[in-house]
Amino acid sequence: MNRQILVVEDEKPIREMITFVLEQNGFNTIEAEDYEDAKSKIVEPYPDLILLDWMLPGGTGVKLAKTLKQNEYTRSIPIIMLTARADEDDKVKGFDVGVDDYVTKPFSPKELIARIKAVIRRVSPTALEEAIEFHGMKLDPVAHRVSINERALDLGPTEFRLLHFFMTHTERVYSREQLLDNVWGTNVYVEDRTVDVHIRRLRKAIAGEGHEDFIQTVRGSGYRFSGKIKMSL
């Protein structure tokens, strides 16, 4: 359930609502508000899926889709169109340019997530269970194994889920509450500081190879998992 989704939507409230929902469901998001912005963000590493508003300023939504689907390198990125109009013609046009699915506004978060997962599953049935690698750390969700430079780690269930989350959500700060929501699950009552303890345990578990610095404390905000280790000055 990893990877990045680019949300192209000009209306900020809607865009933020969407990204909120996505993040709640364990996806990483990138935002873009118009054609140019989107294009500048569709670079390597390419997003794993694009949510594209039909009604971009200047009606450039379809244009963008068409462009992407005609380009050799971006052709394979799945696109889900968002539209306010349940207009059949629009749908046809959308599918004509190779769009993978269609979601009509307003939509429920549940529906959106379901569609996204369906598309991802269709495009790459194994994407959700492929091993993740990050700077010499490898996490295999299927075998339920973690190794760091070929050395196997022994993690408890929670530590494993925490690391899994971090490895799929790198270079970004998460508050303790967000971590609780994502790793422990929503509607569980656990103290904020419990996160600290598990961070500590995880750090300890991966210590010895230099990678313990990957888990960074961002004072006042939370924690971040990053390959760019912070240098002392």
* Residues within the interface to a second copy (CB under 8 A): 39, 42-44, 67, 71, 73-74, 121-122, 125-126, 129, 142-144, 152, 154, 156-157, 171-173, 218-221, 224, 226, 228, 230-231, 233
Contact 78, 103 (CB under 8 A): no
Q: For residue 199, give the nearest of 150, 144, 158, 229 by alpha carbon.
A: 158
* Binding interface with DNA (CB under 7 A): 156-159, 184, 189-191, 193-194, 196-200, 203-204, 217-222
Q: For residue 5, give the nearest of 15, 14, 13 by alpha carbon.
A: 15
Give the max Cα distance, the chain.
60
198, interface contact from DNA, a second copy, none, CB < 5-8 Å by kind: DNA
Q: Using CB atoms within 10 Å of the CB of residue 214, give its burial: 0 to 12 exposed, 13 to 18 middle, 19+ buried.
A: buried
CB of 219 to a second copy, least distance (A): 6
CB of 19 to DNA, least distance (A): 18
CA distance 198 to 24: 20
CA distance 83 to 14: 12
Report the DSSP pairing between strands 132-134 and 222-225: unpaired
Instruction: Considering the complex, state which of residue 24 and residue 217 has its C-beta at the smaller distance from DNA.
Output: 217
CB of 157 to DNA, least distance (A): 3
197, interface contact from a second copy, DNA, none, CB < 5-8 Å by kind: DNA
142, interface contact from DNA, a second copy, none, CB < 5-8 Å by kind: a second copy
CB of 129 to DNA, least distance (A): 20
226, interface contact from a second copy, DNA, none, CB < 5-8 Å by kind: a second copy
